[in-house]
Structure 1
Amino acid sequence: MSDSPVKEKSVPQAALVPSPSPSRASSLPEKKSRGRRIREIIWDSLDGPPEERKLLFKIDIFILTWAGFTYFSKNLNSNNVSNAYVSGMKEDLNVVGNEYQTFTTMWTIGYVISQIPSQMICTRIRPSLWCPSWELLWVIVTFCTAAVKTPHQLYACRFLVGLAEGTFYPAVHTVLGAWYTKRELAKRASIFFASAFVGSMFSGYLQAALYKGMNGTAGLAGWRWLFIFDGVITLPMALWGYYALPDLPTNTRVKWLKPEEKTLALKRMADAGKGKDVPFTWTGIKRILFKWHFWVYTAYYTFFICSENIGTYMNLWLKSLKKYSVSEINTYPTPINAITIVTSLAYGWTADALQLRSPIVYFSLIVCFFAAMNLAIWDGVPFGLKWASYYLTGFAPGSGPIFLTMVNEICADDTLERKFILGTTNSVAYSFNAWIPLVTYNTTKAPRFLVGNSVTVALIVCATLTLTLALFLQRRDA
């Protein structure tokens, strides 16, 4: 535009509307058809270029099959301890007092202490070697669990299983985050998370089948066959990991990706703005600890994780009624996991489609608060409402990935802070979860658990208040 003065003159009104330049027109958002928008909501790669669709299909098949089936077997094993307890293990091992809670506590201790060191080691050892090797240890210890004779031997097995399992969850999220963009990651994370509860749901039916069909076979009780079956189905998954895990796009050497596909994967990550990892330094950690994000987000997630125990005691309630068979005690609680699977996927797809985060988390907390209040009151609560309340606890776990997505987005401008919070929050939460159930849910108080259910109500209230504080501080900073 010229700096010289011009004489005013009458200009037609239409001429006052500037015509968009090519650069400006290209910056306008593309208007998508309804059909294309629906396809993107259902699955994000349906409208992508052919070469990108092929790449996504491959990494979906290899990464998600390994991660999903392995997580399935891990939660199958965790729930099998509870199912084995009510299927003869209590009597065979002479479990007394609060020893049942100690089984869970020993697993949690091993799970907590291995996560952060494992993440540090994974920066120097390929995940495709590190993770499957721990899976093999997990398989060996699971086989040993079938042969335990005393509660103390089971303590050792549960600790080692937790130690091996702690290396898995953060490593999977590291691999997922390295290969998928922001538009793709949430759905895959939801599928990965939901696969765990498929294992939890399947556990009750598996124990019921083994109790009927294998109890006494080869001189072994049905609950022992349960752990043998765990090891058998997990062994091929561990071996599959050596081939399926692609490490990271920067150092992958898998044979199932062509050279041009590896190049495309690198380009996708560059286009998504994912650069080199920022190393941990004392200066960086000090900076993080002086910001509110770490403290408030960690506090919320700790309250949230510790409030999830309430639904796991439904089988003890059913056993106390003395009117259900072993098979029914094992299978009737499984809809809790089915509800978690459905709500987890629904939360993930809704969060992406509507760009909602905190409302979904609030919804899950309200439902779980209602359920916990009924179980805390107990006396006078109708039998059917108690039953429904246990099932409603399945609405809570699926909001965990939604909260972590919110943390990921808020801390996106500080790579070190984001990785530090996502890497330590889970460890801190489970370090509290290692002892809080031991103190509050004393199995000698079954089935009412007045202290445990009341503490759960308080934890949900604290989680709600902490989430509200986080949202307030986010808006203040914005």
Structure 2
Amino acid sequence: MSHSIQKNGIQAEATTPDSSSLSPSSKKTSLRLRIREIVWDSLDRSPEERRLIFKLDIFILINSTWAGFTYFSKNLNSNNVSNAYVSGMKEDLHVVGNEYQTFTTMWTIGYVLSQIPSQIIITRIRPSIWCPTWELIWVLVTFATAAVKTPHHLYACRFFVGFAEGTFYPAVHTILGGWYTKRELAKRASIFFASAFVGSMFSGYLQAALYKGMNGTGGLEGWRWLFIFDGIITFPMALWGLFLHLKGKLDANFFLAYYALPDLPSNTRVRWLTQEEKQLARQRMIDAGKGQDEPFTWVGIRRVLWKWHFWVYTTYYTFFICSENIGLYMNLWLKSLKHYSVPQVNTYPTVINAITIVTTLSYGWTSDALQLRAPIVYFSLTVCLFAALNLAIWDGVPFGLKWASFYLTGFAQGSGPIFLTMVNEMCAGDTLERKFILGTTNSVAYAFNAWIPLLTYNTTKAPRFMLGNSVTVGLIVCAAVTLTVAVVLQRRDAKNESDSESTGGEDGVVRAWTPKTRV
């Protein structure tokens, strides 16, 4: 039977007999193992590695844990603004003109400003301290949102909510990339990302329920209760993350000790991993060709900026993020029709989030099973391009096709974690580059997304948005072109590395700055 050999992070097949010489029982066994690997990739590992991966999945990934549940609550909050707007906030705060777009812009400004500094700081401060601290700040600002009296109050709250959120998403992707190998990473990133859209979908149903059941309770409008509820369910998660660092002194209970970020294999202090498991985790990363952790230095940043990864990956992600706005305005379209109740306006668009959840998980499993990254992203861009074209044309497009096109935008966002998996893998040998680019892709993308919707999706043009939908078509095309550039450059680098190894030369691409991390 064939077996795999890991060398410099590239999977290579050992020499095996011709398949025709294999017995039927061998073929049957191989097929069974392949199916098990596709269902869940740890099922064919050694007992020790299965136990390690199981613990990582439970304590890092599953949505009841800190990272997944926290991401769920953050996207619940983001969608709360949209749902609150169509559920009475517009009238209560006297929102006029393009002020609704400004709410999103203020959040984006905060989000952009915090990401790159945060990614630099976590090379010096543990993510398990840094992220929960900002989570607590996020909770306090979310509570304050329920008390706003004017649009300007909401501007300030959205800025600080975005600033706190900016520390979270790239940090978690950094941690995922630090613990999981190429065979495992895409589906875990997709599961984590999908948890956000559970929050997005839940927000519509929650707003509908609060509008019916709590509007006027305690003298507060139903949309204000939406933010109060969000803060209540998130507050314990912030405390759980911080309590991990008191465990040794206070002997906190089981749950407080076990639900938090584990940092990275090189510096983790969690007690749910044995010393043997921590050493196995470090060895897995070495075998996968991942470099040693490196703190921020200006020399290191100059090294990162000299390579194409930063420029091309960041450009692609900017086009990608700015093209995602097209599906956010379905509730404004439904409200303009004046045929639907407030609960219906809030709940019908949640189907987009349900589609995103399904496609995200499908992308993750398919990507890891077939070891494909770019083709998955191309597929999502193609579906979203079809939807964007229909919404850009608008006049003459049947009502049902408009409805379907809004729903088809749910195919796009799930390819985001697949792309970030590609970044994690291509930059694996240089950990500083990996952390920095995971921050800059998000930060630069949302820097542009802070002002582009103000120009292209002016709320006064709802629900037609001819300019915005047309610009989105162009952004999707630009994203596809940039992704093609990245794929060509990746193949060129892989060929150069292969040629270098075949001639016995040094692996100059990575080894030049990570001499101690390759085996």
TM-score by length of 2: 0.83
Q: Aligned partners of 1:70, 1:221: CA distance in 2, in Å?
A: 25
Which residue of structure 1 lines up, in the alignment, with residue 247 of structure 2? Answer: none
Which residue of structure 1 lines up, in the alignment, with residue 315 of structure 2? Answer: 299
User: 2:440 is paired with a residue of what secondary structure?
Assistant: helix
Q: Aligned partners of 1:149, 1:93: CA distance in 2, in Å?
A: 6
Q: Aligned partners of 1:261, 1:164: CA distance in 2, in Å?
A: 33
Whether 2:15 is the aligned partner of 1:28: answer yes
Distance 1:218 1:370, change over 3 A: same
Q: Which letter does structure 2 place at the counterpart of 1:301? A: Y
Whether 2:44 is the aligned partner of 1:57: answer no
Q: Aligned partners of 1:211, 1:404: CA distance in 2, in Å?
A: 38
Q: Report the CA distance between 1:58 and its aligned residue.
A: 2.0
Q: Aligned partners of 1:282, 1:132: CA distance in 2, in Å?
A: 27
Contact 2:116 2:436 in 1 (8 A): no
Q: Aligned partners of 1:250, 1:417: CA distance in 2, in Å?
A: 17
Q: Aligned partners of 1:93, 1:185: CA distance in 2, in Å?
A: 44
167-176 vs 196-205, greater mean Cα deviation: 167-176
248-257 vs 314-323, greater mean Cα deviation: 248-257
Q: Report the CA distance between 1:440 and its aligned residue.
A: 0.8
Q: Aligned partners of 1:130, 1:414: CA distance in 2, in Å?
A: 22
Q: Report the CA distance between 1:362 and its aligned residue.
A: 1.4
Contact 2:123 2:294 in 1 (8 A): no
Q: Aligned partners of 2:91, 2:391: CA distance in 1, in Å?
A: 28
Q: Report the CA distance between 1:469 and its aligned residue.
A: 2.8
Q: Report the CA distance between 1:127 and its aligned residue.
A: 1.7
Which residue of structure 2 lines up, in the alignment, with residue 394 of structure 1? Answer: 410
Q: Aligned partners of 1:54, 1:415: CA distance in 2, in Å?
A: 26
User: 2:413 is paired with a residue of what secondary structure?
Assistant: coil
Q: Report the CA distance between 1:458 and its aligned residue.
A: 1.1
1:177-188 map, 5 Å? 177-188=177-188
CA offset digits 1:12-66 (Å, max 9, x no partner)? xxxxxxxxxxxxxx94369861111111111111222223222222222221221
CA offset digits 1:271-304 (Å, max 9, x no partner)? 3333322444444444443443332222211111
Q: Aligned partners of 1:79, 1:178: CA distance in 2, in Å?
A: 30
User: 1:398 is paired with a residue of what secondary structure?
Assistant: helix
Q: Aligned partners of 2:389, 2:87: CA distance in 1, in Å?
A: 29
Q: Report the CA distance between 1:268 and its aligned residue.
A: 2.9
Which residue of structure 2 lines up, in the alignment, with residue 19 of structure 1? Answer: none
Q: Report the CA distance between 1:415 and its aligned residue.
A: 4.8
Contact 2:116 2:440 in 1 (8 A): yes
Distance 1:475 1:130, change over 3 A: closer
Q: Report the CA distance between 1:305 and its aligned residue.
A: 0.5
Distance 1:410 1:57, change over 3 A: closer
47-56 vs 364-373, greater mean Cα deviation: 47-56
Contact 2:104 2:450 in 1 (8 A): yes
Q: Aligned partners of 1:120, 1:385: CA distance in 2, in Å?
A: 46
CA offset digits 1:211-241 (Å, max 9, x no partner)? 1111111111100000000001111111222
Q: Aligned partners of 2:223, 2:131: CA distance in 1, in Å?
A: 28
User: 1:257 is paired with a residue of what secondary structure?
Assistant: coil
Q: Aligned partners of 2:309, 2:285: CA distance in 1, in Å?
A: 26
Distance 1:325 1:29, change over 3 A: farther
1:23-422 map, 5 Å? 27-28=14-15, 33-64=30-61, 65-242=65-242, 243=244, 244-412=260-428, 414-422=430-438
Q: Report the CA distance between 1:420 and its aligned residue.
A: 3.3
User: 1:183 is paired with a residue of what secondary structure?
Assistant: coil
User: Which of 464, 469, 478 pairs up with 1:462?
Assistant: 478
Q: Aligned partners of 1:285, 1:258: CA distance in 2, in Å?
A: 35
Contact 2:189 2:421 in 1 (8 A): no
Q: Which letter does structure 1 place at the counterpart of 2:214? A: M
47-56 vs 37-46, greater mean Cα deviation: 47-56
CA offset digits 1:414-439 (Å, max 9, x no partner)? 55544433331111111000110011
Q: Which letter does structure 1 place at the counterpart of 2:15? A: L
Contact 2:290 2:431 in 1 (8 A): no
Q: Aligned partners of 1:90, 1:463: CA distance in 2, in Å?
A: 34
Q: Aligned partners of 2:16, 2:123: CA distance in 1, in Å?
A: 39
Which residue of structure 2 lines up, in the alignment, with residue 14 of structure 1? Answer: none
CA offset digits 1:115-158 (Å, max 9, x no partner)? 11112222222222211111111111101100100000000100
Question: CA RMSD, aligned part only?
Answer: 2.0
Whether 2:454 is the aligned partner of 1:438: answer yes
Q: Which letter does structure 1 place at the counterpart of 2:125? A: I
Q: Aligned partners of 2:361, 2:394: CA distance in 1, in Å?
A: 31
Unaligned stretches of 5+ residues in structure 2: 1-12, 18-25, 245-259, 496-519
Q: Report the CA distance between 1:358 and its aligned residue.
A: 1.9
Q: Which letter does structure 1 place at the counterpart of 2:472? A: T
Distance 1:466 1:181, change over 3 A: closer
466-475 vs 297-306, greater mean Cα deviation: 466-475
Q: Which letter does structure 2 place at the counterpart of 1:225? A: W
Q: Report the CA distance between 1:476 and its aligned residue.
A: 4.7
Q: Which letter does structure 2 place at the counterpart of 1:48? A: R
Contact 2:177 2:424 in 1 (8 A): no
Unaligned stretches of 5+ residues in structure 1: 1-25
Q: Aligned partners of 2:312, 2:267: CA distance in 1, in Å?
A: 35
Which residue of structure 2 lines up, in the alignment, with residue 11 of structure 1? Answer: none
CA offset digits 1:153-173 (Å, max 9, x no partner)? 000100010011001111111
Q: Aligned partners of 2:124, 2:297: CA distance in 1, in Å?
A: 17
Contact 2:184 2:368 in 1 (8 A): no
CA offset digits 1:165-191 (Å, max 9, x no partner)? 001111111222222222222221110
